[in-house]
């Protein structure tokens, strides 16, 4: 019997964290190996604010790419109130979007702001005029399981006030958020493998598992199921299937900052995501939709043409390593995945 197989062209990861320094030098080659392009988030330490910060970050990322991997990194800048048109014009050629962090709601978001701060609407209005998309970590104050839902009214306000602004709801986690994709033509979203395949039980349902702890927190089984159905384009949400892009939210932290009493949110998963999601898409007969979710939709939404890369996945088991580098424990460390990457042509 022949092996079951999926061939992906130019897979893209539209939300990942490479960090800086030694971690960046480890992470960038891992993205570059299996993706044709990936978008690095700006919540580095220090964060990426100015044109100089962006150019310096670009140099560091590009120096870490192995030429033969044929990989296009994409960049973001950290949202600030009152961003002038001059500033936005200067950074626009170097970035794909600007990332809004609600202050204090996730890792390195202390430099972020409240959606109600003065100057936020001014920035969004200038971004709309200059056609720079807004990538948004959409969580508001309140109980952690409801924070994304509570941010929904902000998404509605922004999408209505700025109808030409592309708003990317990053790493969506709540089934109610999906309705915003139906309602607003200018709202899009990234989806992570963890929010599509797991629920809060993976974090708290047995022994406490910090290696499944992200912000937004994994939610109820109904949320997970609705998100998985949406990316596969089934169960009534087929009308939004072209608006959803893969964004792994791969977010490495050294193990001592995960396995401690106040563990950081975020886990490394970039190297296992394509294998993990292969199973539900293949088993549901949605391979064409898998190609759109992992590449075609992002190309269309961001208007990008990444370099050519072919990634072949086969239903042969692979074991997730215990560690990536010295300090990073990946998502599902030590677990056996049903699918493997068996060939990469760059
Ligand atoms: C991310 C990180 O560690 O930078 N963590 C996370 O839990 N998602 C930040 C983010 O994307 O919100
Ligand atoms: Zn986030
Ligand atoms: Zn993230």
- The per-residue pLDDT for range 111-158, each reduced to its tens digit, is 999 999 999 999 999 999 999 999 999 999 999 999 999 999 999 999
- Ligand 1 pocket, Cβ-based, cut-off 6 angstroms: 17, 43, 106-107, 137, 214-215, 249, 251, 265-266
Residue 19 token pair: 């960090």
Q: 50-75 pLDDT, tens per residue?
A: 999 999 999 999 999 999 999 999 99
The answer to whether the Cα torsion of 175, 232, 273, 14 is positive or negative is negative
pLDDT(191) > 80: yes
The closest of 216, 219, 224, 235 to 289, measured between CA atoms, is 235
1 has pLDDT over 80: no
Classified as helix, coil or strand, 196 is helix
- Smallest-distance ligand from the CA of 136: 2
Task: Choose among 125, 180, 189, 185: nearest CA to 155.
Answer: 180
Average model confidence (pLDDT) across the chain: 97
Choice from 266, 267, 330 to test ligand 1 binding pocket (greatest atom count within 8 A of CB): 266
Atom number of ligand 1 nearest to Cα 137:
12
* pLDDT digits 0-9 by tens, 65-109: 999 999 999 999 999 999 999 999 999 999 999 999 999 999 999
Q: Binning pLDDT at 50, 70 and 90, where does residue 238 land?
A: confident
Nearest ligand to the C-alpha atom of residue 23: 1
The per-residue DSSP string of 277-313 comes to: HHHHHHHTT-HHHHHIIIIIHHHHHHT--PPP-EEEE
What residues have a C-beta under 5 A from ligand 3, the ion?
249
pLDDT at 263: 87
- If you measure from the C-alpha of residue 134 to the centroid of ligand 1, how many angstroms do you get, rounded to a whole number? 17
Closest protein CA for atom 9 of ligand 1: 107
201 classed as catalytic: no
Sign of the torsion angle spanned by Cα atoms 345, 192, 215, 48: positive
User: Model pTM?
Assistant: 0.98
pLDDT in tens, 273-291: 999 999 999 999 999 999 9
């Amino acid at each position: 019997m022949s092996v079951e197989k999926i061939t992906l062209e130019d897979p893209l990861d539209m939300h990942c964290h490479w960090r800086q320094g030694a971690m960046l030098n480890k992470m960038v080659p891992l993205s570059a190996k299996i993706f044709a392009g990936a978008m690095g988030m700006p919540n580095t330490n220090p964060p990426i604010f100015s044109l100089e910060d962006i150019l310096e970050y670009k140099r560091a990322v590009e120096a870490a790419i192995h030429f033969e991997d044929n990989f296009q990194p994409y960049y973001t800048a950290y949202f600030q109130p009152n961003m002038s048109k001059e500033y936005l014009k200067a950074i626009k050629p170097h970035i794909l979007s600007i990332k809004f962090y609600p202050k204090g709601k996730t890792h390195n978001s202390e430099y972020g702001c409240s959606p109600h701060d003065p100057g936020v609407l001014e920035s969004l209005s200038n971004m709309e005029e200059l056609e720079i998309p807004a990538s948004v970590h959409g969580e508001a104050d309140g109980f952690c399981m409801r924070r994304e839902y509570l941010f929904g009214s902000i998404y509605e306000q922004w999408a209505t006030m700025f109808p030409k602004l592309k708003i990317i709801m990053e790493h969506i986690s709540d089934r109610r958020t999906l309705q915003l994709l139906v309602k607003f033509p200018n709202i899009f979203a990234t989806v992570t493998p963890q929010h599509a395949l797991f629920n809060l039980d993976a974090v708290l349902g047995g022994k406490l598992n910090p290696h499944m702890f992200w912000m937004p927190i994994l939610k109820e089984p109904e949320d997970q199921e609705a998100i998985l159905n949406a990316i596969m384009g089934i169960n009534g949400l087929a009308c939004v299937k072209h608006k959803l892009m893969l964004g792994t939210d791969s977010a490495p932290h050294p193990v001592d900052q995960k396995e401690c009493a106040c563990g950081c949110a975020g886990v490394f998963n970039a190297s296992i995501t394509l294998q993990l999601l292969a199973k539900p898409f293949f088993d549901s007969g949605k391979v064409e939709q898998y190609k759109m979710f992992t590449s075609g939709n992002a190309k269309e939404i961001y208007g990008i043409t990444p370099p050519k890369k072919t990634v072949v996945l086969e239903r042969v088991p692979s074991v997730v390593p215990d560690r990536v580098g010295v300090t990073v424990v990946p998502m599902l460390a030590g677990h056996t995945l049903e699918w493997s990457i068996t060939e990469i042509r760059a």
